[in-house]
């Protein structure tokens, strides 16, 4: 298969951090056989003549973006999840600890976000489940098809110990900036189907799916700075306000 070369150059400190993070994960994931040929190959990492960090990546010539969440997407995420995997209770997971830290570092406290986090803790109090590797921005614009496989770009937002539903919900919701309860419920149904297939040894009752959906929404809001002027944050904020309409009791 023909391989192209892509050079990514950082233009500011934030982009430099993303490139450094991407390099770390591409090195690790390059050793995962089930992902072979589906992610960029790290060829070189360095600093150019202007002092700007850069990465040289080998990428496959792929095409055919799709908006639907297909079996191929589910298969890719199942493989990615097993690349970094551990079973844990929510309160000791990296995702929980990150949420706690992000809430504590907010310049202005938000009663809504604090209450939503408390709802997560309560709903997941006695649940143990898988925490996995997340691509971080698993969305149609970062994915192309070649044959029956996917090729997934942009690993600068990747993180470990994520909820197993984060990437699925992100794919289903971010492209439409979902803010209505019926659309959210459809995304939750598809996420539950994925969880049952990818991780059948754990319990995926509606209360757990609802709580992990809340975990996803909170994570995106806090990661993007919690500003309601951000269209994604604004849409997700509305869903938090309406959570009594979609959170199973």
Q: Are 54 and 6 in contact (CB under 8 A)?
A: no
**Tokens in use for 178?**
């979902």
Nearest to 168 by CA among 185, 153, 187, 142: 187
Average pLDDT, the chain: 94
What pLDDT is recorded for position 153?
93
The residues near 228 (Cβ < 8 Å, ≥ 6 apart) are 234, 237
What pLDDT is recorded for position 147?
76
What pLDDT is recorded for position 1?
53
Report pLDDT digits (tens) over 53-78: 999 999 987 777 788 999 999 999 99
Query: With 60 as the cut, is the pLDDT of residue 248 above it?
Result: yes
Q: Are 166 and 216 in contact (CB under 8 A)?
A: yes
Report pLDDT digits (tens) over 107-149: 999 999 999 999 999 999 999 999 999 999 999 999 998 777 8
Across 184-202, b (16+ Cβ under 10 Å) vs e yields beebbebbbebbeebbeee
């Amino acid at each position: 298969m023909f391989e192209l070369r892509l050079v990514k150059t950082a233009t500011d400190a934030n982009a430099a951090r993303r490139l450094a993070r991407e390099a770390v994960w591409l090195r690790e994931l390059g050793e995962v056989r089930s992902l072979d040929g589906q992610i960029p190959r790290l060829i070189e990492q360095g600093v150019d003549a202007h002092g700007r960090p850069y990465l040289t990546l080998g990428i496959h010539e792929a095409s055919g973006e799709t908006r639907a969440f297909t079996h191929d997407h589910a298969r890719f995420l199942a493989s990615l999840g097993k690349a970094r995997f551990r079973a844990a209770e929510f309160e000791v997971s990296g995702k929980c600890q990150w949420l706690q830290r992000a809430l504590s570092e907010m310049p202005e406290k938000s009663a809504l976000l604090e209450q939503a986090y408390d709802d997560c803790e309560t709903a997941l109090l006695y649940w143990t489940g898988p925490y996995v590797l997340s691509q971080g921005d698993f969305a149609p614009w970062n994915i192309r098809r070649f044959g029956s496989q996917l090729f997934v770009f942009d690993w600068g937002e990747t993180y470990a110990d994520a909820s197993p539903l984060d990437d699925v919900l992100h794919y289903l919701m971010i492209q439409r900036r979902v803010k209505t309860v019926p659309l959210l419920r459809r995304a939750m149904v598809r996420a539950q189907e994925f969880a049952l297939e990818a991780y059948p040894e754990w319990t995926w009752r509606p209360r757990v799916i609802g709580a992990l959906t809340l975990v996803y929404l909170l994570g995106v809001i806090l990661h993007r700075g919690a500003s309601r002027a951000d269209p994604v944050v604004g849409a997700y904020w509305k869903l938090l306000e309406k959570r009594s309409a979609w959170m199973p009791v």
